[in-house]
């Protein structure tokens, strides 16, 4: 079975009131040119290795793209409540997400509950 590409992009839009925000999530491989697609200028990678997220805490700017890359020998996923949820990632697969609002985003691997991480999203 052929893995999905970043062209399989799901857009989740939260509308209504001042708290409305847009969030984008994608699961797939890095395009052949090696660049991840995202609305921001920055690209940040979180490696999944030895049943841990590295780094566990990361500061990014609004609109940057965060890419989780499974460099482990076991499957993992990346889940943050209602914001995003990857499918199970095999070794070498990636999941990308571009924050649409500022704040703290906590995420985890539901397969390995002790695996947790945090993003701090700031204005550019």
Q: How many domains does the chain have?
A: 1
CA atoms lying within 13 Å on the CB side of residue 12: 14
CA atoms of 92 and 25, how far apart (whole Å)? 18
Q: Tell me the pLDDT tens digit for each residue of 100-114.
A: 999 999 999 999 999
**Number of other residues whose CB lies within 10 A of the CB of residue 102:** 14
Q: Which two tokens stand for residue 121?
A: 């999203």
User: Domain for residue 72, yes or no?
Assistant: yes
User: Domain for residue 4, yes or no?
Assistant: no
Residue found by looking up tokens 């947790």 in the block: 116
> Which residue positions in the chain have pLDDT lower than 70?
1-41
User: What DSSP state is assigned to residue 89?
Assistant: B
Check residue 112 and give its pLDDT. 98
CA atoms of 16 and 43, how far apart (whole Å)? 29
Check residue 21 and give its pLDDT. 29
Q: What is the pTM of this model?
A: 0.69
Domain range enclosing 89 = 9-122
């Amino acid at each position: 079975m052929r893995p999905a590409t970043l062209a399989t992009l799901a857009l989740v839009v939260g509308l209504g009131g001042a708290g409305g925000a847009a969030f984008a999530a994608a699961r797939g491989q890095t395009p052949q040119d090696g660049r991840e697609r995202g609305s921001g200028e920055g690209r940040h990678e979180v490696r999944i290795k030895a049943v841990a997220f590295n780094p566990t805490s990361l500061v990014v700017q609004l609109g940057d793209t965060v890419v989780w890359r499974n460099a482990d020998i076991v499957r993992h996923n990346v889940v943050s409540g209602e914001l995003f949820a990857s499918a199970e990632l095999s070794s070498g697969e990636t999941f990308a997400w571009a924050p649409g609002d500022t704040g703290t985003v906590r995420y985890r691997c539901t397969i390995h509950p002790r695996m947790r991480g945090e993003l701090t999203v700031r204005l550019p």
